[in-house]
């Protein structure tokens, strides 16, 4: 049974990926410092798959702890989710973001180098494209100056991985996520925003649940059909399955290059108002919202050209925006 290390495996995307890895027959080891999640996610994963992942609670910035882990555990592949990821927060504490997101990565890559480990998958983001000049966005779109230290840390980490792959023997894939939303069909795992949600979907579900008074729609004067900004919202279970497809490509040595990048989205753009209407339809509730000014740093539109992932990873998003919104709503109702 192949052993896969999942860092940040108790987080939103990490936990859904752990479930899919276990469904595929992989043995999963999780490292998570619980800085942005809770330990009960481990039991929830176990209750879904009936298999308890091995769990190691330490911070990846602790080089000795990382070395100790690899001294005691050999793995066939690594999926690296662990990172701070709040765009707005990163503007206020950039040094914490750079230190955490970069040191965690280099500590792992150093261990891969000295132990000749390979098969590394990195959790990247479409945020590296900024406002792309052309839509849909392909992997050849230029990477633009980042709008936030969070986005910059993703850009820097991709460059670190590319240089490490060139200098050493291991293989890697970066997956550039568009907007991950939704929750597992069991409603046992989902997005756990701590504090006031920054992202649209958790804010919508918390408003519908009466936790928030009303949703503010950030801007209706964008050059889009209904004036609100457009994003490519991908169901987190589809996103998790893309990691399995990327891992199998590495394990079966099917790569065309030792370092590859794939956009992971649905290929479909939805505006904020379209998301609100879809949510009202699936939840059979009326959402309380108001239009306000634009949020600084937001782009007008982003949605993926998914040709490369479809053809090379043999992966395609199968779940719809409505599926994801209903799953998010069912998850919210359990909280």
As annotated, the active-site residues are: 150
Query: CB under 6 A: which stretch of 89-97, 166-174, 211-219, 321-329 binds ligand WQD?
Result: 211-219
Question: Which x/- pattern over 229-248 shows residues binding ligand WQD (rule: CB under 6 A)?
Answer: x-x-----------------
Pick from 67, 59, 63, 54: nearest CA to 35: 59
Q: Which is nearer to ligand WQD, 66 or 328 (CB)?
A: 328
**Angstrom distance (rounded) from CA 191 to CA 11:** 8
Q: Residue 223: CB partners within 8 Å, gap ≥ 6?
A: 300
- Please say whether the beta carbons of 282 and 208 come within 8 A: no
Q: Which is nearer to ligand WQD, 118 or 179 (CB)?
A: 179
**Angstrom distance (rounded) from CA 45 to CA 75:** 20
Q: Retrieve residue 268's tokens.
A: 């479909």
Q: Which is nearer to ligand WQD, 168 or 297 (CB)?
A: 297
Q: Binding of ligand WQD at residue 258 (CB under 6 A)?
A: no
Question: Which x/- pattern over 260-289 shows residues binding ligand WQD (rule: CB under 6 A)?
Answer: ------------x-----------------
The two beta strands, 259-264 and 172-177, are parallel
Rg, C-alpha atoms of the chain: 19
Query: CB under 6 A: which stretch of 24-32, 213-221, 235-243, 326-334 binds ligand WQD?
Result: 213-221
- Please say whether the beta carbons of 268 and 300 come within 8 A: no
Q: Which is nearer to ligand WQD, 16 or 231 (CB)?
A: 231
The two beta strands, 120-125 and 172-177, are parallel
Neighbours of 290 (CB within 10 A): 8
The angle at the Cα of 263, spanning 246 to 325, to the nearest 5 degrees, equals: 95
Interface residue with ligand WQD among 27, 298, 312, 323 (CB under 6 A) is 298
Q: Retrieve residue 233's tokens.
A: 């919202």
Query: CB under 6 A: which stretch of 48-56, 93-101, 165-173, 212-220 binds ligand WQD?
Result: 212-220
Total residues binding ligand WQD (CB under 6 A): 18
Query: CB under 6 A: which stretch of 62-70, 210-218, 234-242, 244-252 binds ligand WQD?
Result: 210-218
- Please say whether the beta carbons of 99 and 91 come within 8 A: no
Write down the least CB distance from residue 144 to ligand WQD, Å. 13
First to last CA, the chain: 35
Query: Of 37-76, which residues contact ligand WQD (CB under 6 A)?
Result: none
Question: Which x/- pattern over 75-114 shows residues binding ligand WQD (rule: CB under 6 A)?
Answer: ----------x-x---------------------------
| Tokens 């910035």 -> residue | 61
Query: CB under 6 A: which stretch of 55-63, 94-102, 216-224, 303-311 binds ligand WQD?
Result: 216-224
Write down the least CB distance from residue 272 to ligand WQD, Å. 5
Q: Binding of ligand WQD at residue 300 (CB under 6 A)?
A: no
Query: Of 150-209, which residues contact ligand WQD (CB under 6 A)?
Result: 179, 198-200, 203
Environment class of residue 221 by beta-carbon count within 10 Å: exposed (0-12), middle (13-18) or buried (19+)?
Answer: exposed
**Angstrom distance (rounded) from CA 244 to CA 266:** 17
Q: Binding of ligand WQD at residue 125 (CB under 6 A)?
A: yes
Phi, psi of 179 (to 5 degrees): -105, 105
Interface residue with ligand WQD among 144, 168, 295, 316 (CB under 6 A) is 295
Q: Binding of ligand WQD at residue 218 (CB under 6 A)?
A: yes
**Angstrom distance (rounded) from CA 74 to CA 214:** 49
Residues lying near ligand WQD in the complex (CB under 6 A) are found at 85, 87, 125, 127, 179, 198-200, 203, 215-218, 229, 231, 272, 295, 298
């Amino acid at each position: 049974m192949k052993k896969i290390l999942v860092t940040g495996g108790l987080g939103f995307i990490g936990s859904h990926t752990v479930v899919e890895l276990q469904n595929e027959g992989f043995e999963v080891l999780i490292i998570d410092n619980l800085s942005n999640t809770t330990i009960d996610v481990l039991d929830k994963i176990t209750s879904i798959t009936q298999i308890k992942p091995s769990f190691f609670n330490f911070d990846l910035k602790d080089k000795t702890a990382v070395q100790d882990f690899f001294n005691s555990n050999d793995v066939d592949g690594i999926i690296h989710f662990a990172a701070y990821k709040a765009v707005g927060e990163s503007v206020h504490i950039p040094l914490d973001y750079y230190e955490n997101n970069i040191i965690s990565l280099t500590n792992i890559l150093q261990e891969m180098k000295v132990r000749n480990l390979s098969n590394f998958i990195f959790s990247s983001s479409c945020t590296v494209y900024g406002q792309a000049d052309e839509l849909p966005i392909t992997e050849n779109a230029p990477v633009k100056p980042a709008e936030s230290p969070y986005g910059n840390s993703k850009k820097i980490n991709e460059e670190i991985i590319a240089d490490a792959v060139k200098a050493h023997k291991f293989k890697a894939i970066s997956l550039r996520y568009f907007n991950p939303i939704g929750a597992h069909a069991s409603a046992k795992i989902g997005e756990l925003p701590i504090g006031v949600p920054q992202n649209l979907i958790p804010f919508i579900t918390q408003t519908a649940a009466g936790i928030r008074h009303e949703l503010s729609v950030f801007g209706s004067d964008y050059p889009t059909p209904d004036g609100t900004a457009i994003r490519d919202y991908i169901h987190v279970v589809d996103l998790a399955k893309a990691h399995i497809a990327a891992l199998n490509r590495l394990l079966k040595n099917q790569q065309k290059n030792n370092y590859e990048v794939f956009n992971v989205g649905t290929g479909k753009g939805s505006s904020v108002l379209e998301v609100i209407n879809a949510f009202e339809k699936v939840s059979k509730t009326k959402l309380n919202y108001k239009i306000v000014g634009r949020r600084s740093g937001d782009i007008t539109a982003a949605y993926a050209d998914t040709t490369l992932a479809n053809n090379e990873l043999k992966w395609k998003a199968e779940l719809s925006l409505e599926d994801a919104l209903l799953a998010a709503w069912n998850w919210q109702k359990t909280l």
